[in-house]
Amino acid sequence: MKRDPVIFVVVALALSLMLVFAYKATGKQPKDGPTGAGKPAPEFALQSLDGKTIRLSDLRGKAVVVNFWATWCQPCRIEMPWFVELQKQYGPDGLQILGINADEDTSKEELEKFAKGMGVNYPVLLGKEEVEQAYGGIQFLPITVYVGRDGNVVDKVFGLKGRGEIEEDVKLALGQKKPATQAMK
Amino acid sequence: MPRKLTQLVWLVVFCSAIFGISNLNAQDIPGRKAPSINMVDPGITTAIRGKAANIDLFFRISQGFHVNSNKPRSEYLIPTTLRLTAPTDIVIGVINYPAGVEKSFPFAPNDKMSVYGSQFVINFAIRPLASVMPGKYAVHGVLKYQACDDATCYPPKQIPVNFLIKVTKSTSEPQGRNPPQSPHVHR
């Protein structure tokens, strides 16, 4: 059978284009980096608004929700009341939510006022660049990392999700629910 | 149509389809594509010295994003603002921002925000004083904004805003000799 060289070129070009776009797409994905599920959550020691130093390692044995947020981030403001409720509901089961603030030009007093206004009942920590980098960089907010009782990341969530999905991740971190892949077995 | 030409046309269609699909997917993942704002080149606005000229600056927001309006509904949200610096003796009037449109995030439909989506126009008047020499003048400024998509928000950003105005004499002014300077852009 005689093959038309033009068709060959068309297919080759199409495949090349698909490869290029696939490569570009993966390159721009938000990177889980060192904080992918199953990996140990990077250690940090950050100062809270009330002046205490909070170390992630001190919370070993608890499920920890590390929520990166900023005052200018509307989706962060939407999920904050949910975190307040979840802290109340699951705190006795061993949940600790930590809000790491990513504002650059906001004073501690303003943050205190904001947190008070939102009724935040969990520690708000003053973020540091090196912690943000350790968690894969903060290109946008919110970013929430769910850490299991063993100190390993169980999920990393980019952007606002529904309250139900957040609660499912909280249960996963608490060990009250098995990951989807395990649950199917 | 010759067969080879038909095949070439199919090639272009096929490649465009692949490009389209790739970009369609890019919109689906939050945070994948950073937002941007571009100002449409306003061209050169002519202003008669001693009189006000109206200027509209058009800004386009990249697809899938919105920015807070100039009057967001919370003191903590960052408003879109334009700051301009005009050359000496050229006065910039009050900057008029458009009203925002109401928007809410899918997970909080009752939480309304005031935003600009896709494009917006900022308007102001510019008035060269009667003492200004005719010629072209550059106006510089900065547009500050903070963009979000349906699930994420990006840190505040600013872009430079530059445009030219051409100052002319009024037709009612006595026509004298040309000024000693040759026309040039005053920066």
All domains in chain B, ordered by first residue: 34-168 (2.60.40.1250)
**Percentages of chain B per state (helix, strand, coil), in multiples of 5:** 15, 45, 40
Amino acid at A115: A
Task: Assess contact for B95 and B161: CB atoms under 8 A.
Answer: no
Q: How far apart are CA B63 and CA B119, in angstroms?
A: 10
Cβ contact A14–B34 (<8 Å):
no
Taking the Cβ of residue B113 and every Cβ of chain A, the question of whether any pair is shorter than 8 Å is answered with: yes
Which of A101, A105, A140 has the highest number of chain B CBs within 10 A, making it the mutation to test binding with B? Answer: A140
pLDDT mean over B62-91: 95
Cβ contact A160–B76 (<8 Å):
no
pLDDT mean over B35-40: 95
Taking the Cβ of residue A11 and every Cβ of chain B, the question of whether any pair is shorter than 8 Å is answered with: no
A140 pLDDT exceeds 90?
yes
pLDDT mean over B82-101: 96
Instruction: Report the mean per-residue pLDDT for chain B.
Output: 84
- pLDDT band at residue A182 under the 50/70/90 scheme: low
- pLDDT band at residue B106 under the 50/70/90 scheme: confident
A93 pLDDT exceeds 60?
yes
pLDDT in tens, B124-173: 999 999 999 999 999 999 999 999 999 999 999 999 999 999 999 987 76
pLDDT of A156: 95
Residue of B nearest to A9 (CA): B11
- pLDDT band at residue B23 under the 50/70/90 scheme: very low
pLDDT mean over A45-64: 97
Higher pLDDT, A104 or B121: B121
pLDDT of B184: 59
For residue B98, is the peptide bond before it cis, meaning its omega torsion is within 30 degrees of 0? no
Task: Report the residue from B76, B108, B156 with minimal CB separation from A78.
Answer: B108
Q: B98 CA to chain A: closest CA distance, Å?
A: 21
Q: How far apart are CA B160 and CA A43, in angstroms?
A: 39
Residue of B nearest to A166 (CA): B107
pLDDT of B28: 40
B103 pLDDT exceeds 80?
yes
- Show residues of chain A in contact with B147, CB under 8 Å: none
DSSP secondary structure letter of residue B30: T
* Residue B5: other Cβ atoms inside 10 A: 9
Give the DSSP per-residue string, B74-105: STTSPPPEEEEEPPTTEEE-PPBPPPPEEEEE
* Residue among A160, A158, A125 nearest A54 (CA): A125
Instruction: Report the mean per-residue pLDDT for chain A.
Output: 86
* Residue among B56, B83, B79 nearest B67 (CA): B79
Cβ contact B153–A72 (<8 Å):
yes
Cβ contact B10–A10 (<8 Å):
yes
Taking the Cβ of residue B34 and every Cβ of chain A, the question of whether any pair is shorter than 8 Å is answered with: yes
A28 pLDDT exceeds 50?
no
The predicted model scores a pTM of 0.77
Task: Assess contact for A124 and A110: CB atoms under 8 A.
Answer: no
Q: 3-class SS at A126? A: strand
- pLDDT band at residue B105 under the 50/70/90 scheme: confident
Restricting to A residues 58-117, those with a Cβ less than 8 Å away from any Cβ of B are 70-79, 102, 104, 114
Cβ contact B152–A158 (<8 Å):
yes
Higher pLDDT, A118 or A1: A118
pLDDT mean over A108-117: 96
Say how many CB pairs under 8 Å bridge A and B. Answer: 102
Residues 6 or more apart whose CB falls under 8 angstroms from that of A110 comprise A71
Taking the Cβ of residue A26 and every Cβ of chain B, the question of whether any pair is shorter than 8 Å is answered with: no
In this structure, of A3-7, A74-78, A136-140, B151-155, the range with the lowest mean pLDDT score is A3-7
pLDDT mean over A123-141: 96
Which of B14, B18, B115, B146 has the highest number of chain A CBs within 10 A, making it the mutation to test binding with A? Answer: B18
Handedness of CA B175, B178, B179, B183 (dihedral sign): positive
Q: How far apart are CA A69 and CA A142, in angstroms?
A: 5
In this structure, of A19-28, A47-56, A175-184, the range with the lowest mean pLDDT score is A19-28
* Residue A37: other Cβ atoms inside 10 A: 15
